[in-house]
Structure 1
Amino acid sequence: MKPTRLILIPALGNEPAPFLVIEDGVVRERGLLELHPETPPEPMRTVAIVPGAEVTIRWLDLPDGGLTQQRAAALWMLKDQLAAPSDRLAAALGPIPAAGRPRLVALAGLPLLQAWVGYLEALGVRPDALVPDALIVPEPEADARLNAVAFGSATALRGRGFAASVQPDLVELVAGARYVDPIIDPAEVERALVAAALAPPINLLASQERVRGAGRRGWALASAMAGLLVVSPLVLIAAAAGRDDADARAATAIARAGVERVAPDLATLPDPVEALRRRVRAAPPPGGVIGATAALFAAVEQVEGAELDLLIVDPADGMKASVTHAGYQDTRTIARAMRANGFEVTETAALDDRGRIVSDITIGSAR
């Protein structure tokens, strides 16, 4: 059997990527792929695991038809849950299920898919498949249970006919009455990763060929501003295999060098990574203030009765706005619309004003 490379895409666009090389069902190599290598990695089949929080995963009863018709049907069935227009989304389908069973569907924004492909090309590889992290988690045997694997700052959850990646403080809310069973054994996580590499449950790349060949700049716009570092299961597995203090010092040097490349004035500070995070949080969103403002106006217009009352751009504090609207769920609608265009909306305050709600929000780049 030819080897397969499995890559875990990190949250920060200038970070190296953990990888495994699998041959005959066994891991033969593990390590980190650096950006813009002098010598490209060995060509081989490559599967990348992407953040599941950025992907909508559902099991749907789709009508009979070809792939194009079923993708269109999936987009139509989920239209009320999606803020972005269908021409900005990629819909991927899982294997054909048994008669009477729903089919796995995954949807992601085309700009984000292009960004992921651009990042992988910056590593010197071309992906054959992109798989959301939530779908590598083994499905539990009982309906009343959820399996969970931590991927950096998110928790990937998998149930019967259910998969999602959420922030840790939302796990209990999402789980409801279901029991959450964390998978923390690195060997068990590695087996799940190997299984996903050898037989991807879904391939986001199969939905739109035009995401291939994306430029590297797209990843920087969508992800380099995220200001997050990932400690992934692959890194933990590599550590368990024998990393020592020298590796930690090398990783620190790499992080400092990365900061020095993008922000030389911060490299001499005691904690340059945290200093860069603070700068990122106050930086203008991707596309600049004009692009963010246009996206915000469009998002607010999607909410009936909502009004944009105030918009402030401060070099120290970033971009903030105040929106008046009717229901507390309206800010989630605005946030979904902004995320589809590459922006992250965070509600910082909400006030009930004579039957109307006034929400203060900040606007930054989506992860």
Structure 2
Amino acid sequence: MSRTLILWLPPVAALADETAVRPAWLRVDDGVIVDSGQDDGWVDAWERPQDDAADGRLIALAPAADVPLRWHHYPDAAPAQAAAAARLDALKDSLGEASALHVVAGQPAEAGQAVPVAVTTHAAMTAWTDWLAAQGLSPDTILPAAAAVPPPEAETLWAAEVGDETIVRTADRAFLSDPELDPLIAGERTIAPLDAAQMREALLLSLAAPPLDLLSGAWKPKRNWAVDPALLRLAKRLLIALLVVSLMVPVVHAIRLMSDSSRADEVTVETAKKAGIAAPNAEAAEAEIDRRLAAAGGGPLAFSVPASALYDAMRDTPGVTLKSLAHRTDGTLTTTLAAPRVDDINAVLLALQAHGYRITAQPMAGADGQQMANVTIRAVP
């Protein structure tokens, strides 16, 4: 449900006696006027909706006595350019210091449309916002009451009752009626009263799409960010849960790693027992197995292990040839490699290093012009 409270702001001159201020008001629900008055009844009529499905707005109407309106035409200007030009022209035509004036121009929807411009003072805006704050109100929009009066027919002026005011509307102006000045302004044109029903309809249309808002420029409300306590509590809980999960992941990983390591150690000890080795733990079992393999000339110290790795590396580099090969009891393989280029020998050495072997190499030049290197390969990486 859409709910709107329309509250007429008192003229600045009337605010001197706040006890005498009884603003007119309307309450509109879903585009239908459901309540109205000129008393303090708006206090009970206005309650911002608490549910998310409802939409509540407070629109204040500034009196024409303090905010006259004028429409400017710029047929060839874009909407934004027309609004800027109208504001400058309004400043030129206004009396008083520019710094004391609050000039607001609406922006037309299409090029060529008239631009409404409202002129008031910063002092008036201060008086109204202070009065609204004293009532505990923060309006969504402050609309000049004169902006709600529709344009008249040709050769006619409207005299419309809006709140406590009678507003005269010409083709390009809207201002507070003055019995002495109205005939002079009208000239030969007729000043016709605007039907109350037609005025209410025009007012509701202007609320749906306000042509301009006095709460702009220096008076545009600053957005206050409010934190929902429920969302804050939820965010705290999610943060705590994230910290717990972040701590539990490495803990669980460490537990699983320790469990897997323990099972692997048990398998190692059991395998050693089958080979006739009695060891208290996996480290002792592995040491005894390595000792026995070394004594038998097998295991990682055997000739076949580093030699196989050397032949695999040479198979990927056909230009390298083997000049000599020897194996020591400590598992070290010594060899002399020859190739047309040093890069070919380096490719073999890099391949061995990639398999975890420790390499030393001494380059030298061969008698036949080939590149040679004396290489030692540690059988145990």
- What TM-score comes out, normalization by structure 1 length? 0.49
RCO higher in 1 or 2 (8 Å CA, sep ≥ 6)?
1
